[in-house]
Structure 1
Amino acid sequence: MLTYSMDDYNGVVIEKQALPDSETEFVVQFNDMLSDVKAQGKQLVWFTLSIKQAAFIHLATQAGFVFHNCLEDEITLILRIQKEAYAPFVPTHSIGAGALIFNQQQQILVIREKLASNPGFKLPGGHIELGEKISEAIVREVFEETGVHSEFVGLQGFGSKKSFRFGKSNIYFLCRLNALSEQINIQDIDEIAEAKWCDVSEFVNDQYTSVFVSEIVKTLQHQQGFELVELPENNSPYKKHEVYFAGDIRKHLT
């Protein structure tokens, strides 16, 4: 029989490491396993397959599994033994971050992408990788796109966009950073065509600067934000990855 572990939703998770080599044997073992979990009153069966185990996908779907979520190298399927069985929702959003960062002359750091449809400049930034903190991701993105070293100060705003890519929505965080260096040295030369320090008035009034970004800079340049805080009691099994509280951002900029 296929081996499995229990989950938190009155279901079981098939252990992919124990799959048989034969598809015929898989069908036999799966039917035995399904009878067993049904007898236990379980409602769900989860099944994650690596890309090397893709041959089992059609067997799973024939047994009633549907796709739940997918990564580049694996796919997770789910079987509802009971039609109305609850399963956690699938990921609905991607996360991005943009940087508001100024030099000693109060010029703003901006970049121009090689493949962008808009020929103008924009704020440096990019997507947050799986498991990455916003505060760490934006520092990384700024360095990759401009070569400028920086430190994270806080969040100053965010926006959301419906149906951004692949049918998912997007949340875009505006981050304030302090510049630790000013020399431009683009690391990601495949993506970034140009990076520069620009006078704020020139940037916000440029015909190619989007209205959204222009308003961001004009509105948030001197505003307070949310500070990254460490909470000593944030050590439960549900520990937060990052915690932000409202604070006076100006004390960080002196």
Structure 2
Amino acid sequence: MMYKWLLKNRKANLPPASHTNLGVGGLVCNDNNEMLVVTEKHFEYAHWKLPGGYVERGEDIKHAAIREVKEETGVDAVFESMITLRHTHNAMFGNSDIYIVVMLKAITTDITKSEEEIKDCKWMKIDEYLNHPHAHEFNRFIVKQALQLNENNIKLNLLKSNVTISSWSRDITSLVVDVSSEHQQ
């Protein structure tokens, strides 16, 4: 570790214990060209958004998105593709914030909303969402990006593998672009 060789008479240039939050959002679609949307109970501006939340320590991005969707809406889903990410600074607790959005395919459609977090939850037609007055512009961008990826038969897969360097071994997740025709709709 780097800190073991730092000189004692110099300022340590180590980052704070946590300086970046990692969140996920799930664009969940069903077979009726609808997307799953929620409004949060504890948000100053009531708007339709994607279900999601923070990644837990040691949790993979795919699993975090699936878990958050299940917790907030009761809907089971499977990973299809990464869509985009957003990186911003001075967010919650003064930290930087990375928000990764993935495309999920609904495998159940019955909604059981979280009474603790969610004010409302429903399936909404994609075109309706893109024109809805209470949809944030960044969320519209996400949906348009997902449509463009699908139209161009591009899948952004998150591939998990194990890397060994010297005496340590780590599981890593890499972004892989898949342009095969196997995932065409």
User: Into which bin does the TM-score normalised by the smaller protein fall?
Assistant: 0.7 to 0.9
Structure 1 distance, partners of 2:181, 2:94, is 39
Q: Report 1 or 2 for greater relative contact order, CA contacts < 8 Å, sequence distance ≥ 6.
A: 2
Equivalent residue, structure 2, for 1:195 = 121
Equivalent residue, structure 2, for 1:15 = none
Residue correspondences, number:
178
Q: Rate the CA distance shift 1:140–1:205 in 2: closer, same or farther, 3 A.
A: same
Contact 2:48 2:136 in 1 (8 A): no
Aligned with 2:25 (options 98, 105, 109): 98
How much does 1:111 deviate?
0.7
Q: In structure 2, what residue type is equivalent to 1:147?
A: G
Gaps of 5+ in 1: 1-6, 12-41, 44-80
Equivalent residue, structure 1, for 2:97 = 170
Which is greater in Rg?
Answer: 1
Equivalent residue, structure 2, for 1:73 = none
How do 1:102-251 residues align onto structure 2 when only pairs under 5 Å count? Answer: 102-186=29-113, 188-223=114-149, 224-231=154-161, 234-236=163-165, 237-248=168-179, 251=182
Contact 1:159 1:172 in 2 (8 A): yes
> C-alpha deviations, 1:89-144, integer Å up to 9, x for none?
22321011111111011101111111112222101111111221111100000001
TM-score (norm 2): 0.86
Gaps of 5+ in 2: none
Q: Rate the CA distance shift 1:142–1:179 in 2: closer, same or farther, 3 A.
A: same
Three-state SS of the structure 2 residue aligned to 1:159 is strand
How much does 1:216 deviate?
1.3
| Higher strand proportion | 2
Does structure 1 residue 89 correspond to structure 2 residue 15?
yes
Structure 1 distance, partners of 2:179, 2:103, is 12
TM-score (norm 1): 0.64
Identity of aligned residues (%): 27
Q: CA RMSD in A?
A: 2.1
Structure 2 distance, partners of 1:181, 1:157, is 24
